[in-house]
Amino acid sequence: MTRSELPSADLDRVADLWGARTPHSKGSVWPARQDLRLEDGLQIDDVDHWVGSACVLCSNGCGCDIAVKDGRMVGVRGRVDDPVNHGRLGPKGLYGSTPWASSPDRLTRPMVRVAGRLVETDWETAMGRVVEVSRRLLEEKGPLSHGFYTSGQLFLEEYYALAVLGKAGLGTPHMDGNTRLCTATAAVAMKESFGSDGQPGSYTDIDSCDAIFLYGHNMAETQTVLWSRVLDRIEGEDPPIVVCVDPRRTPVAEAAERTGGVHLAPYLGTNLALLNGLQRELLQNGWIDEEWVAAHALGLEELRKVVDPYTPEKVAQICGVEADQVRRAAEVFGTTRDVLSTVLQGFYQSHQATAASVAVNNLHLLRGMIGRPGAGVLQMNGQPTAQNNRECGADGDLPAFRNWDNPEHVQQLATLWNVEVQQIPHWAPPTHAMQLFRYAEQGSIGFLWISATNPAVSMPESARIRKVLDGEQCFVVVQDLFLTETAQLADVVLPAAGWGEKTGTFTNVNRTVHLSDQAVAPPGEARSDLEIFQLYAREMGLTDKDGEPLLQWDGPEEVFEAWKECTRGRPCDYTGLTYQRLREGGIPWPASEQHPEGTDRLYTDHVFPTHTEQCETYGHDLATGGGVTEQEHRAIGANGRAFLKGSPYVPAHERPSPEFPLLYSTGRTVYQFHTRTKTGRARSLQQAAPDPWVELSAPDAERLGISEGDVVRVESPRGAIEVRARVGFVREGTVFAPFHYGSWDRDALSTTRQANELTMTVWDPVSKQPCFKTAACRVIRVRAGDGPSTAPTTAASRPVGALSPTRGGAATTSVTVPTPTYRLDPAGRAR
């Protein structure tokens, strides 16, 4: 690649979140730009070699190369030829990808609990203890005594090994991941509408849409590179209109106002009422494609009845927005040619999550706006490899989007794994995470294996979760990179290799599969998660019905080849992919003989995987979660048509009261990821957002006598935190807290910083995703602060008053480069 301009060096990407604009007009290819960060003092020529990968600090999946020097990872650069990011990286990717790896507090040896304390030991001792407890419980209580709680951050091969181990090896239905907290609703919303998980749209839809609706999705902070792509459209010719649904005045909300769209800021817990109102407006104004709906969807008349009561005035009254805002948003959706919708945690972690997210799909189906460039739905993910967890079945689903309730699907797996069909649990729906922790609390699960996640900080009602993990009733194994808050409560801790220290693949939101090759050796005795699962399976003597080892693969590439067979003919068909092909860059599935280059967008033929024999679920009632039976599904006769499903709005579990008059919501900041395991060890990111805070609206702050930086106590019926106040732009009556902050970087296990002390153990009836967005709370001023809060002044947490801006990120470079041809990009093919 020849550079067309000199490098733009010393860019502070803490201050400049999205980098320089490269405007592009509707239907043109997004121009390339390469971003780079190397450790201070290093130049390009100092790098020994580069290793291909993709970033794992959010779900966007930006292609990157890892810089290696003297056996260490020392930086990253964006891959210009990658279809996801066209060379760009965001602040988290640039600053947070590599520093954690050489952090002095990495786990390098296994640990076991002795007389109440965790002490280092060898693998034989640690795994010996795991196997001894596991064997004993299997003998005494059977497989239901075992639970596995994994992550959105392992590699595909590791999830698949875990799924085979749990389902075919042990036969436990108690498997889930922290994806339940993050993308369970995305998966379920697609299953309910289209018959199967699998993202209909593509990032390339941004390049050709006329309007973009972001529902509970602060893309500007959670997927910064994707937001660059939107900003570049906004600054080009024929910019799209942006519509934002968010209770905070995010950069997305500001873009909505700039582009002639609308910022709808509903009361927490009222998303479904708003979406019912939008659907009603489409129907009332005739903004639907009746012919398309008749040919390709079911349920129009039932939906009409459900949404009919939601006039703009009624929606305004329930949601606290203007009736004309509802009309304007519906008009944009109903009269614009190509609309892209994106949905994220504001909907998924809310009250009536599945119904509200399905309503977004409904809007697209009503207009027949699916399967063509610019007219897509992106039911987003939060974590980098959440998609693979869902695909592989380590979250409880059956691998390759098979239906646990379809005997033929279960038989296919039994044949593939060479085990008896009865061995694979399928007599009831798989256990979801919230229930799994309940069983661990009661002790019916006596063996809980947690990999690459930190529920002590990330699960709701964290005081309860700490008690579950700390109690005698359940033996807890944790495998991770660091002694996290969760690992500190474990009985056995296993040191794991991280990104760049092992090889494997993973898949992002728009189905793009990347290979991440091993760049460096893991520290000390740390092993890849795949090796750890294989070691356990071997020590346990888990075999198929011929007595052959169950996880018999020699390395990740063999697992990938086995996985390909598992996906053959399924919606997520990987059979056309190889490690070799993936070394050239990301490829979106399905990639098979019919689609050797992969597939940019699903449902271009408007045929959906809803045949009874094919679908991933027979569906549910969205209000109650009650399941549709196989006979009922067959009687409906969807046969390739999508489902329009509606549900009435009902109020959230907890509403403001005189005692707790405000509503509390958790969320993210642009500078941190998850529980800061990696980003908290990256100087530039940690300095930008070092401590937790709560955001209050200016009217609420004034009423409560609270000023910027004051220490406040936020209390809910379940717990309390004491943090500093940011007087900002959250909607009045709402309190926002970032959920990233636990106590691993403190002297003691302090819980007064943890946002999840306040949240509730309640979940959506269909997706079982816990509700982090609606808890009643009160805020009390404790004392004056010694200055403003350290909350970032950028993006959604910016203050009402003027403060010194957040900056100070280490130097990065960014260069514009010639834009290559991207094989699947519709605009590129049109050139």
Q: With respect to ligand SF4, which residue has the nearer C-beta, 74 or 170?
A: 74
Return the residue of 22, 28, 60, 199 that touches ligand SF4, per CB under 6 A: 60
Residue 331 to residues 280, 282, 287, 311, 334: CA-CA distances in angstroms? 11, 8, 8, 14, 5
Q: What six digits make up the tokens of 368?
A: 């027949």
Q: For ligand SF4, what does the binding mask look like between residues 692 and 721, x meaning CB under 6 A? A: ------------------------------
* Contacting range for ligand SF4; rule: CB under 6 A; set: 186-194, 223-231, 650-658, 749-757: 223-231
CB of 135 to ligand SF4, least distance (A): 41
What one-letter code names the amino acid at 322?
E
Residue of 134, 178, 185, 223 that binds ligand SF4 (CB under 6 A): 223
Nearer to ligand SF4, 62 or 144 (CB): 62
Q: Is 93 among the residues that bind ligand SF4 (CB under 6 A)?
A: yes
Instruction: Please tell me whether residue 57 binds ligand SF4 under the rule CB under 6 A.
Output: yes
- Of 53, 153, 224, 789, the one binding ligand SF4 (CB under 6 A) is 224
Q: How far apart, in whole angstroms, are the C-alpha atoms of residue 307 and residue 733?
A: 27
**Chain position whose Cβ is nearest to ligand SF4:** 93
Q: Of 219-227, 531-539, 678-686, 753-761, which segment contacts ligand SF4 by CB under 6 A?
A: 219-227
- Give the footprint of ligand SF4 on residues 270-329 (CB under 6 A): none
* Selected binder of ligand SF4 within 11, 32, 36, 62 (CB under 6 A): 62
| 32 interacts with ligand SF4 by CB under 6 A | no
Asked whether position 92 contacts ligand SF4 by CB under 6 A, the answer is yes
The Cα–Cα gap between 8 and 754 comes to: 39
225 counts as binding ligand SF4 under rule CB under 6 A: yes
Residues 14, 29, 32, 55: which binds ligand SF4 (CB under 6 A)? 55
Tokens 């005035």 belong to residue: 313
Structure tokens at 482: 């660091």
Q: Which two tokens stand for residue 576?
A: 């056309």
Q: Which of 36, 73, 89, 762 binds ligand SF4 (CB under 6 A)?
A: 89
For residue 152, state whether it binds ligand SF4 (rule: CB under 6 A). Answer: no
Closest distance between ligand SF4 and the C-beta of residue 673, in Å?
7
Which of the stretches 86-94, 320-328, 343-351, 449-457 binds ligand SF4 when contact is defined by CB under 6 A?
Answer: 86-94
9, with CB counted inside 10 A (0-12, 13-18, 19+), is: exposed
Nearest distance from residue 90's CB to ligand SF4, in Å? Answer: 3
Our CB check for ligand SF4 shows the closer of 78 and 299 to be 78
90 lines the binding site for ligand SF4 (CB under 6 A): yes
Q: Which is nearer to ligand SF4, 118 or 340 (CB)?
A: 340
| 364 exposure class (CB count in 10 Å sphere: 0-12, 13-18, 19+) | buried
Residues 6+ apart with CB under 8 A from 612: 618, 630, 633, 634, 638
Least separation in angstroms between residue 55's CB and ligand SF4 is 3
Burial track 543-559 (b if 16+ CB lie within 10 A, e otherwise): bbeeeeebbebeebbeb
How many residues bind to ligand SF4 according to rule CB under 6 A?
Answer: 14
Closest by CA position to 742, among listed 491, 523, 489, 495: 489
Nearer to ligand SF4, 58 or 278 (CB): 58
Our finding on whether 58 is near ligand SF4 (CB under 6 A) is yes
Among 18, 22, 52, 61, binds ligand SF4 (CB under 6 A): 61
Radius of gyration of the chain (CA): 25
Residue 381 found at the interface with ligand SF4 (CB under 6 A): no
Q: Say whether residue 378 binds ligand SF4 (CB under 6 A).
A: no
Contact flag: residue 387 with ligand SF4 (CB under 6 A): no
The DSSP line for 251-316 is: HHHHHHHHTT-EEE-PPTT-HHHHHHHHHHHHHHTT-S-HHHHHHHEE-HHHHHHHHTT--HHHHH
Residue among 90 and 236 whose Cβ is closer to ligand SF4: 90
CA 471/CA 586 separation, integer angstroms: 44
- Nearest distance, CB of residue 78 and ligand SF4, angstroms: 8
- Residue 388 interacts with ligand SF4 (CB under 6 A): yes or no: no
By C-beta, is 60 or 812 nearer to ligand SF4? 60
Q: Give the nearer residue to ligand SF4 in terms of CB position, either 62 or 450.
A: 62
Please check whether residue 200 is in contact with residue 377, taking contact to mean a CB–CB distance below 8 angstroms: yes
CB nearer to ligand SF4: pick between 255 and 779: 255
Residues 6+ away with beta carbon under 8 Å from 159: 150, 385, 388, 389, 391, 392, 393, 394
Q: Establish whether the linkage from the previous residue to 590 is cis, with ω within 30° of 0.
A: yes
**Count of positions (residues) in the chain:** 831
CB of 218 to ligand SF4, least distance (A): 13
Q: What is the DSSP string of 4-65?
A: SS--EEEEETTTSSS-S-----TTSPPPPEEEEEE-TT--GGG--EEEEEE--SSTT--EEE
Instruction: Decide if residue 87 touches ligand SF4 (CB under 6 A).
Output: no
Candidates 87-95, 195-203, 736-744, 794-802; binding stretch for ligand SF4 (CB under 6 A): 87-95
**From CA 817, how far away is CA 31, in angstroms rounded?**
8
Burial class (CB in 10 A: 0-12, 13-18, 19+), 71: exposed
Q: Please list, in sequence order, all residues whose beta carbon lies within 8 angstroms of the beta carbon of residue 587, skipping any fewer than 6 positions away.
A: 512, 513, 577, 581, 597, 598
Shorter beta-carbon distance to ligand SF4: residue 576 or 586: 586
* Minimum CB distance to ligand SF4 smaller for 221 or for 405: 221
The piece of 51-59, 110-118, 162-170, 326-334 that touches ligand SF4 (CB under 6 A) is: 51-59
What does residue 688 show for φ and ψ, rounded to 5 degrees? Answer: -75, -30
- With a CB cutoff of 8 Å and minimum separation 6, the contacts of 31 are 22, 24, 86, 232, 816, 819
The single-letter DSSP state of residue 178 is G
| Binding region for ligand SF4 (CB under 6 A) | 55, 57-58, 60-62, 85, 89-90, 92-93, 223-225
